């Protein structure tokens, strides 16, 4: 090769490399997305290969690191304290299972799967009730609570908090006076325990009951009677409860709120309503958490916004 042709070739390669090198905006965008997802920044930058960062979102979302990061985030939002042991820590394993196998997000709550309580391995089992991790012994034990009548009020509350983001600040007087179902009917208690569309006692009546004491306490399935909840819905049993919750608009909003908080580290504000609506549309269409997350991460505004 003569000198001139070699120079031309070198120039050509340099120009190509320049076109490939991510510019400052692409670097910033990659940094923001990779930090959010917990995927390495340098590796992400390298993997761009000429694409724009936001065109790579779907691929990054599939990575094991991103799935692990997201599972940890969901766990922190669904449980206010760490579990007492591995058996009580099934939620992140269940989230990883749903995302890795590209199942609809709702399956987390209504899927028929078993969580092995010694290693949190998950296996599908069509003979199980459609209760997601709510059916697992570890989760039920974690939220047995200590109501004197065995009603699993804590589990009922957690279920609604997890699926639709329902939030109550339990009364500091919970322990005061008569804590039984009769006691909970008192005026100062019944607002949360009976008279709300989400009455805690009514919900707990659909759940298994706590039997036994101390370390030997466990949840036991009991026959239940239908309860009227959510402004007039007759809810038949535990499975039906989760089915009703996951079919509600509140579930769509809860999911897009969680997704927003994950991608931005805070709750959404009023001026982000259009973005939020696009998430709700995307999620309502496919039921996939990946689509909820991507609706934000692929939005041009996501990379324009100065964090
Ligand atoms: C502001 C709503 C609210 C009010 C008012 C309220 N509670 Fe509760 N209560 C809750 C919530 C939420 C839980 C579930 C707490 C949890 O997740 O551990 C709960 C749980 C309980 C439990 C089960 C505790 C456990 O650890 O299992 C008892 C017993 C109880 N409440 C009794 C009462 C009594 C008695 C009153 C009235 C003096 C009362 N509550 C008033 C919201 C309320």
pLDDT at 20 over 80: no
Pocket flag, ligand 1, residue 179 (CB < 6 Å)? yes
Under 8 Å between Cβ of 30 and 53: yes
- pLDDT tens by residue, 4-13: 666 555 554 4
Q: Who wins on pLDDT, 50 or 293?
A: 293
Could you tell which of 193, 202, 203, 204 is best to mutate to test the pocket of ligand 1, judged by most ligand atoms within 8 Å of the CB?
A: 193
Mark 270-285 as b/e (b = at least 16 C-beta within 10 Å): eebeebbebbbebbee
Could you tell which of 149, 164, 192, 213 is best to mutate to test the pocket of ligand 1, judged by most ligand atoms within 8 Å of the CB?
A: 192
Cα 240 to ligand 1 centre (Å): 23
Question: Closest ligand 1 atom to the C-alpha of 173?
Answer: 38
- pLDDT tens by residue, 52-92: 889 899 999 999 999 999 999 999 999 988 888 888 899 99
Under 8 Å between Cβ of 53 and 60: no
Specify the pLDDT at position 7: 58
Contacts of 299 by beta carbon, 8 Å cutoff, 6+ apart: 275, 278
User: Could you tell me which of 163, 178, 167 has the C-alpha nearest to residue 243?
Assistant: 163
Contacts of 122 by beta carbon, 8 Å cutoff, 6+ apart: 93, 94, 97, 113, 114, 115, 116
pLDDT at 221 over 60: yes
Torsion of CA 35, 37, 43, 47, to 10 degrees: -120
pLDDT at 305 over 70: no
- pLDDT tens by residue, 103-114: 999 999 999 999
Q: CA 267 to CA 139: how far, in whole Å?
A: 27
Cα 268 to ligand 1 centre (Å): 29
The alpha-carbon radius of gyration of the chain (Å, integer) is 24
């Amino acid at each position: 090769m003569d000198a001139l042709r070699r120079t031309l070739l070198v120039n050509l390669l340099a120009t190509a490399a320049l076109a490939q090198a991510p510019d400052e905006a692409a670097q910033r965008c990659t940094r923001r997305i990779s930090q959010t997802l917990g995927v390495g920044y340098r590796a992400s930058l390298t993997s761009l290969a000429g694409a724009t960062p936001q065109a790579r979102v779907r691929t990054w979302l599939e990575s094991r690191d991103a799935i692990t990061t997201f599972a940890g985030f969901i766990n922190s939002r669904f449980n206010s304290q760490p579990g007492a042991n591995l058996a009580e820590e099934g939620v992140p394993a269940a989230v990883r299972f749903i995302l890795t196998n590209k199942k609809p997000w709702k399956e987390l709550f209504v899927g028929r799967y078993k969580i092995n309580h010694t290693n949190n391995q998950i296996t599908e089992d069509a003979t199980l009730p459609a209760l997601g991790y709510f059916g697992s012994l570890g989760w039920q034990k974690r939220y047995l609570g200590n109501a004197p009548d065995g009603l699993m009020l804590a589990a009922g509350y957690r279920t609604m908090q997890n699926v639709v983001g329902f939030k109550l600040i339990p009364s500091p007087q919970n322990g005061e006076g008569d804590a039984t179902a009769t006691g909970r009917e008192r005026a100062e208690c019944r607002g949360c325990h009976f008279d709300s569309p989400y009455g805690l006692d009514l919900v707990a009546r659909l759940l298994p009951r706590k039997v036994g004491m101390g370390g030997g306490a466990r949840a036991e399935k009991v026959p239940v009677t239908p309860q009227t909840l959510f402004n007039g819905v007759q809810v038949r049993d535990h499975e039906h409860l989760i089915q009703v919750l996951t079919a509600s608009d509140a579930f769509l909003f809860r999911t897009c709120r969680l997704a927003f908080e994950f991608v931005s580290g805070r709750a959404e504000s009023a001026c982000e309503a259009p973005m939020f609506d696009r998430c709700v549309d995307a999620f309502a269409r496919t039921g996939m958490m990946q689509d909820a997350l991507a609706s934000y991460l692929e939005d041009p505004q996501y990379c324009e916004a100065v964090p």
